[in-house]
Every structure is written in C-alpha cells, then in structure tokens.
Amino acid sequence: MAIRLSQPAKARKSLPLTERDLADLERLRRQTPERDALADLAGVVVVEGVTEAALLHMIFTAGLRAIQEKAEEHAYASAAADRLASGEADEIRRIARRRRPSWADED
C-alpha cells in the first residue's frame, strides 16, 4: 500500500544521497524504532511497502516540524530572557507572593 501526499505535488527535486543515507532509508523501510519515531514526527502511519519518494517526503516533513519547534523554543527563550532583563518577571513573582493561595480557605 502506497502512502499518498495530502496535497498535490508541485515539483519533483533530485536529492543526492550517500551510502549511509541509503542504508538509513532501508532501515526506515523496516519495522524499527526509528520508523515509529518518523511516523510520530511526520504524523502519518508508515506502512511496509512505502515508496522511497513518500519516505523521503515524510523525512522532510518531520525535519521541518523539528525546525519549527526549535525556532519556537528559541523564541520562547528569547522572550523569557527579555522579561528577566526588564524586571517584569520579578514583578510578577512579587504579585504572586502577595496573592492569597486558592487553597487557603479550605477546611
């Protein structure tokens, strides 16, 4: 069973692959923990008879997702550093300490 793209393909590009790349692709074709991880990252189920083009597209999709997550991580870290530098985090902490805890009225 072949995996289809969720959208029509607009272009087909060539991709230079090393011997190691080809070995990695072959390992991803078999039922391995790496293939399960690829399925999770790409958000699809990888079947046994997956085509090489579909497998490469899944790897591309998973790579883009990892890049986006890393970019978000850097953005959050930068925003946190800015808050710390401006003293805003200290002010939020001071306000939170003065606030009565929600469990204080429990008997």
Which pLDDT score is estimated for 97? 81
Which pLDDT score is estimated for 46? 79
pTM of this structure: 0.66
Phi, psi at residue 43, to the nearest 5°? 75, 30
Sequence-separated (6 or more) residues with CB below 8 Å from residue 36: none
Start-to-end CA span in the chain (Å): 62
User: What averages of pLDDT result for each successive group of 10 residues across the chain (107 residues)?
Assistant: 63 91 91 89 82 90 93 92 77 79 74
Sequence-separated (6 or more) residues with CB below 8 Å from residue 38: 28, 46, 58, 59, 62
Give the separation between CA 46 and CA 54, rounded to whole angstroms.
Answer: 9
Which pLDDT score is estimated for 107? 63
